[in-house]
A and B are shown apart, each in its own frame.
Chain A
Amino acid sequence: MSVTIAPQMDVSAPAVAAPLPDVIPPRKARGPVWRFVRRYPTVVVGGVILAVILLAALLAPWLGTVDPTALSPAKRTRFPSEQYWFGTDMLGRDIYSRVIYGARVSLLVGFTVAILASIGGLAIGLVSGMVRWLDGIVMRVVDGMMSIPPILLAIALMALTRGSVQNVIIAITIAEIPRVARLVRGVVLSLREQPYVEAAVTTGTRMPAIIWRHILPNTLAPMTVQATYICASAMITEAILSFIGAGVPPSVPTWGNIMAEGRALWQVKFYIILFPAIALSLTVLAVNLVGDGLRDALDPRMAKEV
């Protein structure tokens, strides 16, 4: 055994350990905004892109657009130029204006479906997770719905009705609800086993209050994250529906419709499809970035030490 001990001077003054310098230089004090950017860069990047697209959709009439449905057969399939930034389609409509106005439909469908599917899925998931005897029945129905890809389900539902933005929203919502319901049910089942829920039972809390105070608030974080993914997926589904002509009527400019019209010409007039495709990809990317960031920010276990 070898113990190394420094020889100790016998002095009456107290032996004081010299303070050690920090290994990491202290970070410059910055404002709370900058700290948020450092911690959740994806939320910030996604959020900024999304905000720009949202503003563009809201302010469409003031962004140098013309009537997106105005035909001008003389100026068909023009290449992008100073006058027609994104070119014109085969009916001479300005693609730039159509893409900007199309954002309105995409965002409307995305956000509305996200909210409606969340509410519907939350209700089904809560009931299924809390009421044991209903769980078996509800979950078999949900399983059945989930065995069909959401896009096929949405197409089938659209086949039953006529094309309109409202019907598209309803169809996609129904197709997306099972995923939310499954998620919420899973979260509820694990929350039920949490000691704080057991504690609520033993302190005489009634079932509705347990759901309201102890279960529901703790499902919101995973729900919010899921809602962003649903939003992204709904926008893609809407574009697909429009693209194959099962969605919003062709008179309404949507990204799917613009691409559908450019489909026949895409080898020669690629820009007809290119710009709405970029807009769709960018929007979906932004929403997913926000979702990923939120997942990190809302999950305390994933709190990063930056």
Chain B
Amino acid sequence: MSETLLEVNDLKKHFTLGGGLFGRSGKVLKAVDGLSFTVDRGETLSLVGESGCGKSTVAKALMRLYRPTAGQVVLGGTRIDEMSDGALRPLRRRIQMVFQDPFSSLNPRMRVRAILAEPIRNFGLARNRADLDTRLAALMERVGLPRDALGRYPHEFSGGQRQRIGIARALAAEPDLIICDEAVSALDVSVKAQIVNLLCDLQKDLNLALLFISHDLAIVEHMTHRVAVMYLGKIVEIGPRRDLFLAPKHPYTQALLSAVPVPEPGAARTRIVLKGDVPSPIAPPSGCRFHTRCPHAFDRCRTEIPALDPVGRGHFAACHLNDIPSENGRSHLSSMALMGVQ
């Protein structure tokens, strides 16, 4: 088995909300509330969930754009969550990020050459000027852009090409892990496929680990090894791609999967339409956070927080229904899922 690259233990990020006459209203927004997962070297872990579930906050906390409120982030055996900014700087090389918006993630007043040279210079990766030029040329080729693009400004490129520049910037640091925060969401269908394929190729060729944050389950299914589903700041289900997509063990995962529109007219399917909206993370529901929208909720869900329990090999789900055995030995929920999502 491959080695663990990144280990996240009980990560929390709470925001104290401003407001009121003197700044603090005392309200706390628990954007990420006790997240634990690992990413292996060369592996893709996808973090899926709807807006407001805290998935982007996870990315920023891991990149230390936010300081985590609690919990540990261990990168290759070193704890990085407590480090000072200065001590962390050389380690930043190992985790890089590709941002969602291909327009605002590139400085409009810098040429592509300067954008890509910045990480190489910061981390002292180039021996001399000639080496820098070789690296830049190699990066451009790697992401499929012409070499003369180095002399141009970001606004001269289309969205897809800009995202390639963003990927090249992440690659320039020679990272072990790239966090893609909705990196393809803003792109058009045909370009999206190009970028997804590029990311997959890079992962294979460079043995990169990817933390792929997305709300698009169909894309995630195409490119991931493992998936973690988030709801209101917590992981409700995590498991290998095949298990999670074919036999989801949490009602939220089942609903998410069934809600994805299928590009096939008249496809026979039962859709689980969740009622209502995602509750506010400022006042999350008691017990299981999903109980207000869950079609199977019962008394225990309202009071007791379900633990993330194993439901298969490397597959965990946080739902009380998995504790109830049904007659044929499968858990109660699995048999319901089979009825619902086929």
A contact residues vs B (CB 8 Å cutoff): 194-196, 198-206, 213-214, 217-218, 300
The residue in chain A whose Cβ has the minimal distance to the Cβ of B90 is A204
> How far in angstroms is the closest Cβ of chain B from A232?
27
Contact A214 B107 (CB under 8 A): yes
Q: How far is the CA of A198 from the CA of B62 in the complex (A)?
A: 13
Contact B173 A203 (CB under 8 A): yes
Residue B313 CB within 8 A of the other chain: no
Interface 1/0s, chain B 96-107, versus A by CB < 8 A?
110111001111
Contact B104 A203 (CB under 8 A): no
Q: How far is the CA of A200 from the CA of B110 in the complex (A)?
A: 12
Among the listed A195, A200, A202, A218, which residue makes an inter-chain contact with B109, where contact means beta carbons less than 8 Å apart?
A: A218
Contact A199 B99 (CB under 8 A): yes
Residues of A within 8 A of B118 (CB): 200, 203, 205, 213
Contact A196 B173 (CB under 8 A): no
Q: How far is the CA of A229 from the CA of B110 in the complex (A)?
A: 28
> How far in angstroms is the closest Cβ of chain B from A235?
31
Residues of A within 8 A of B123 (CB): 203-204
Contact A199 B169 (CB under 8 A): yes
Residues of B within 8 A of A218 (CB): 107-109
The residue in chain B whose Cβ has the minimal distance to the Cβ of A218 is B109
Contact B96 A203 (CB under 8 A): yes
Interface 1/0s, chain B 80-104, versus A by CB < 8 A?
0000000001101101110111001
Tally of contacts, chain A with chain B, CB under 8 A? 65
Contact A198 B109 (CB under 8 A): no
Q: How far is the CA of A78 from the CA of B93 in the complex (A)?
A: 79
> How far in angstroms is the closest Cβ of chain B from A23?
25
Interface 1/0s, chain B 159-175, versus A by CB < 8 A?
00000001001001100
Q: How far is the CA of A196 from the CA of B169 in the complex (A)?
A: 11
Contact A217 B109 (CB under 8 A): yes
How many residues in B have their beta carbons less than 8 Å from beta carbons of A?
30
Contact A196 B106 (CB under 8 A): yes
Residue B155 CB within 8 A of the other chain: yes
Q: How far is the CA of A202 from the CA of B65 in the complex (A)?
A: 8
Q: How far is the CA of A270 from the CA of B173 in the complex (A)?
A: 72
Residue B194 CB within 8 A of the other chain: no
> How far in angstroms is the closest Cβ of chain B from A212?
12
Closest 9 CB pairs of A and B: A203-B119, A195-B105, A204-B122, A195-B99, A196-B107, A217-B109, A204-B92, A195-B104, A202-B63
The residue in chain B whose Cβ has the minimal distance to the Cβ of A194 is B104
Q: How far is the CA of A205 from the CA of B92 in the complex (A)?
A: 10
Contact B65 A201 (CB under 8 A): yes
Q: How far is the CA of A201 from the CA of B64 in the complex (A)?
A: 9
Residues from 112 to 170 in B contacting A, C-beta threshold 8 Å? 114, 118-119, 122-123, 155, 166, 169
Residues of A within 8 A of B63 (CB): 198, 201-202
**6 interchain pairs (CB within 8 A)?**
A199-B97, A202-B95, A203-B122, A203-B169, A204-B92, A218-B108
Contact B108 A199 (CB under 8 A): no
Q: How far is the CA of A204 from the CA of B166 in the complex (A)?
A: 15
